[in-house]
Amino acid sequence: MLAQMLAMRAEPNDRAEANTLLCTALADARRLRLPEAAQIEQILAQAGMTCPDADA
């Protein structure tokens, strides 16, 4: 997954871009009621990231 690769690479702005990608993916997964939303939430938590509009 691109977001995970960015988070691990840790170049300038990579973490912010990874967070944006993961939050977008989470919002879409929730909207579509996909079970993958739980996996995305787990990735965010493990990376210590949050989504500004998270309503979980």
pLDDT of residue 10: 77
Confidence category of residue 4, pLDDT binned at 50, 70, 90 = confident
The answer to whether residue 56 scores a pLDDT higher than 70 is no
Q: Please check the confidence at residue 36 and state whether its pLDDT lies above 90.
A: yes
Please indicate, yes or no, whether the overall pTM of this predicted structure exceeds 0.85.
Answer: no
Taking the domains of the chain in order of start, what are their residue ranges? 2-47
The average confidence (pLDDT) of the chain is 89
The tokens describing 30, both together, are 């929730």
Largest CA distance in the chain: 33
- Of residues 35 and 11, more confidence is placed in 35
DSSP code, position 18: H
